[in-house]
Amino acid sequence: MSWLEGNSRHPKSPGSRLSKLLAKPEVLRVPGAHNAMAGLLAKKEGFEVLYISGGGVTTTLGLPDLGIMSLEELCFVVRMVARATDLPLIVDGDVGYGGTLNAMRTVQELESAGAGAIHIEDQMLPKKCGHLNDKRLVNVDEASAKIAAAKKAARDLLIIARTDAAAIEGVDGAVERARAYREAGADVVFPDGLTSEEEFRLFSEAVSGPKMANMTEFGRTPHFTAEEFHDFGYDIVIWPATSMRVAGYALRDLYAHIKSEDGTAGFENRMLTRAESYSLIGYHDIEALDSSVAKSVVPTFTGDNTKSESR
Residue 311 CA to residue 309 CA, distance in Å, equals: 6
Query: Is residue 258 included in any domain, yes or no?
Result: no
In this prediction, residue 8 carries a pLDDT of: 74
Residue 231 CA to residue 104 CA, distance in Å, equals: 34
Domain that holds residue 295: 265-311
Does residue 36 share a domain with residue 102? yes
Helix, strand or coil for residue 208?
coil
Does residue 278 share a domain with residue 180? no
Helix, strand or coil for residue 28?
strand
pLDDT at 110 over 80: yes
Cα 207 to the chain's mean position, in Å? 24
Quote the mean pLDDT of the chain.
94
pLDDT band per the 50, 70, 90 thresholds, residue 9: confident
Does residue 177 share a domain with residue 67? yes
Helix, strand or coil for residue 276?
helix
pLDDT, tens digit, 9 for 90 and up, residues 119-155: 999 998 888 888 878 789 999 999 999 999 999 999 9
CATH number of the CATH domain containing 197: 3.20.20.60
In this prediction, residue 6 carries a pLDDT of: 76
pLDDT, tens digit, 9 for 90 and up, residues 233-275: 999 999 999 999 999 999 999 999 999 999 999 999 999 999 9
pLDDT at 306 over 70: no
The total number of structural domains that make up the chain: 2
Query: Is residue 240 included in any domain, yes or no?
Result: yes
Does residue 19 share a domain with residue 76? yes
Domain boundary among 218, 246, 274: 246
Does residue 45 share a domain with residue 130? yes
pLDDT, tens digit, 9 for 90 and up, residues 151-174: 999 999 999 999 999 999 999 999
pLDDT, tens digit, 9 for 90 and up, residues 187-238: 999 999 999 999 999 999 999 999 999 999 999 999 999 999 999 999 999 9
